[in-house]
Structure 1
Amino acid sequence: MSEPPNPKPRLVICVGDIHGFVTKLKNIWSNLERSIERSEFETATVIFLGDYCDRGPDTRLVIDFLVALPSRYPRQKHVFLSGNHDLAFAAFLHLLPPPPDGSPFSDGWKEYSASEDREGWFGGEGFENMHLQGRRWSGKIKVKYNTVKETEYQGSIYDARPTFESYGVPHGSADLVKAVPDEHKKFLADLVWVHEEDDVFINTEDGSKCCKLIAVHAGLEKRVDVKEQLQLLKARNTRVPKVEALSGRKSVWDIPEELSASPTIIVSGHHAKLHIEGLRLIIDEGGGFKDKPVAAIILPSQKIIRDTDVLAE
């Protein structure tokens, strides 16, 4: 008697940084839906890699779209990771959990106080016990040009002005706290800092591999114990004024060696590039630039879908 065929591996879709561009979000969602067989799409796990706000003009509409997905696609599993921009937005709205050791958020300002004047940290209503990144996010930076990105800053170091304006208030206004709907506040308050999945398949040159998957906005630090990092991220430990796994660059680029014992995919956005090397997946082709695409990757195939793809009907 022949054995039944193996079931198809479940589909996991990872969507890169959206940064306030609702048209890009709608287009990539439509392209994903058209690229994937209907029953597979409707039961897929969809992981959004963070940075929903800032730079683009439509943060409010982006969050409206994301909040509606679970009711529109009830059989899908949706995971919404926090990016560094989302953490800062939530910090300004006083939505982050307090430091577990009972210390005030103001303790976290000291390490970075040399940047306060240049970055014009927020000092308006509610600043006294605000996480450092909330103050930086809503601040008014004195330098107007970002030499790294070769763009003008939009209000703050985080380019947060468009987010304020999408809710109908001027950049840096404490009125944003009242302007953001409760549904959006809940979305931001519930964002996870890391997500783990077991038994995710990925097609490689050596065949299909069954892996653990860790999704985190920027990546995991190579020189810090992974268990320690995951513990901090799962607890959303806000005593840390700058969360390297959400905002780091070179320090979080590679997969920590201790994860090589069993195959582990690490998928991130954040880095403003598309980089696929072995099990390290970085999916952020757009980087919040108006003229660059939002990308997504489909596993196990590793097929890349962009909002700019023109697909046949």
Structure 2
Amino acid sequence: MSSAGAHRRATVLVGDVHGHRAKLVSLFENLEREIGAERLSTSRVVFLGDLVDRGPETSGVLDFIASLPAVHPSMEVRILGGNHDLGMATFCSLWRVDGGMPPPEGYVARRKEPPLWVDATDKNEHARMHLQGRRWGAFEAGTRNAFDSEATFASFGVDPGDPRRREALLSSLPESHAVLLSSLEFVVELDDVEDDMHPEVNKLIAVHAGLELERPIPEQLEALRERVIQQRWIEALQGRTNVGRPANVGVNVLVASGHHGILKTDGKWLVVDECAGLDERQLAAVVLPERAVVKSH
């Protein structure tokens, strides 16, 4: 680690964890070694979304992150929601939904998926559930779930094929996990951020998949700050081709995202998602202002 950044407050951007607790623990051990225990403990840590699914230990990941304020009381922890987190949170009814709940008549998935989840009880919860929650909770033997959420159910000791899997998951979900998931942000905005590559930068805007390129920035930020769910596809979480760093966002603004399955550390759109939930890849973080890349073992 260069001496230039050693005494400045660090901003640590952590890529998509996707249920890999062992990698997350390893990453924090390496961060402590690389930037020092004191600097890490007083840093601003931004998780870029997609805490859940794919990996085997979603429950352990949520335990680790929920414990950070007690372990590091001087650390500022900010946590973005990703599209996987959106699926789990809406399946568990942890996020307020203002629209886009039932799938449109004749809804057809963009790729082969299990049929949308249907409540096996007499409560008919699926009738009020956001589309992404129903997709997240779907299961059919021989068909891959769109979110790979089977691993998350299993991490809580729930059989994803159980017709009453929602009730089983809710009864197994610790209160600390529910609080964490219900408080995830759609945008994290930080002032006084330094970037050695771009001295004019003094602000960070972090969104899971990037801002929409054509939509006015103030309009986007207002909706993201309020965490309004009024549509079936939230572009800033989904990451289609119309997201990234808009040209008119401001020369002083650094945009950070996860989601895209790559590690991109050049320019003013940082993408930190080297792991992408894959067993064979390392979990990465980028440390500002020096843009140091730190990875799990």
What TM-score does the superposition give when structure 2 sets the normalisation length?
0.90
Query: Using the alignment, how far apart are the partners of 2:42 and 2:106 within structure 1?
Result: 45
1:99-121 deviations in whole A, cap 9, x for unaligned? 1xxx5722xx1178122984411
Decide whether the 8 Å contact of 1:249 with 1:271 is kept in 2. no
Matched, 1:283 2:272: yes
Matched, 1:39 2:31: no
Runs of 5+ unmatched residues, structure 1: 1-6, 145-152, 309-313
Read off the aligned partner of 1:228 and give its amino acid letter.
Answer: E
| Counterpart secondary structure, 2:265 | strand
Matched with 1:168 is 157
Read off the aligned partner of 1:203 and give its amino acid letter.
Answer: D
1:170-210 deviations in whole A, cap 9, x for unaligned? 11512212221111111100001101011211111xx6343
Matched positions, count: 283
Query: Using the alignment, how far apart are the partners of 1:224 and 1:138 within structure 2?
Result: 31
Read off the aligned partner of 1:15 and give its amino acid letter.
Answer: V
Query: Using the alignment, how far apart are the partners of 1:225 and 1:77 within structure 2?
Result: 29
Deviates more, 1:225-234 or 1:54-63: 225-234
Read off the aligned partner of 2:270 and give its amino acid letter.
Answer: L
Query: Using the alignment, how far apart are the partners of 1:112 and 1:183 within structure 2?
Result: 38
Matched, 1:200 2:199: no
Decide whether the 8 Å contact of 2:100 with 2:231 is kept in 1. no
Matched with 2:101 is 105
Matched with 2:228 is 237
Aligned ranges 1:257-276 → 2 under 5 Å:
257-260=247-250, 262-276=251-265
Matched, 1:123 2:113: no
Deviation at 1:226, TM superposition (A): 1.0
Q: Structure 1 residues 19, 111: CA separation in 2 closer, same or farther (over 3 Å shift)?
A: farther
Match of 1:219 among 186, 210, 220: 210
| Counterpart secondary structure, 1:178 | helix
Deviation at 1:258, TM superposition (A): 1.3
Read off the aligned partner of 1:256 and give its amino acid letter.
Answer: P
1:5-34 deviations in whole A, cap 9, x for unaligned? xx9542100000110011000000100011
Aligned ranges 1:83-162 → 2 under 5 Å:
83-99=82-98, 105-106=101-102, 109-110=103-104, 113-115=107-109, 118-124=113-119, 125=121, 126-140=125-139, 144=143, 153=144, 156-162=145-151
Read off the aligned partner of 1:304 and give its amino acid letter.
Answer: V
Runs of 5+ unmatched residues, structure 2: 1-5
Q: Structure 1 residues 69, 28: CA separation in 2 closer, same or farther (over 3 Å shift)?
A: same
Matched, 1:228 2:228: no
Query: Using the alignment, how far apart are the partners of 1:287 and 1:179 within structure 2?
Result: 26
Q: Structure 1 residues 170, 240: CA separation in 2 closer, same or farther (over 3 Å shift)?
A: same
| Counterpart secondary structure, 1:113 | coil
Query: Using the alignment, how far apart are the partners of 1:250 and 1:142 within structure 2?
Result: 31
Decide whether the 8 Å contact of 1:104 with 1:129 is kept in 2. no
Deviates more, 1:217-226 or 1:233-242: 233-242
| Counterpart secondary structure, 2:78 | strand
Q: Structure 1 residues 208, 257: CA separation in 2 closer, same or farther (over 3 Å shift)?
A: closer
Decide whether the 8 Å contact of 2:31 with 2:294 is kept in 1. yes
User: Equivalent pairs: percent with the same residue?
Assistant: 36
Decide whether the 8 Å contact of 1:18 with 1:53 is kept in 2. yes
Query: Using the alignment, how far apart are the partners of 1:118 and 1:54 within structure 2?
Result: 16
Matched with 2:246 is 256
Deviation at 1:169, TM superposition (A): 0.8
Root mean square deviation of aligned Cα = 2.0
Deviation at 1:216, TM superposition (A): 0.7
Query: Using the alignment, how far apart are the partners of 2:106 and 2:152 within structure 1?
Result: 24
Deviation at 1:287, TM superposition (A): 0.6
Matched with 2:3 is none
| Counterpart secondary structure, 1:301 | coil
Matched with 1:3 is none
Query: Using the alignment, how far apart are the partners of 2:95 and 2:199 within structure 1?
Result: 40
Read off the aligned partner of 1:181 and give its amino acid letter.
Answer: P
Query: Using the alignment, how far apart are the partners of 2:140 and 2:214 within structure 1?
Result: 32
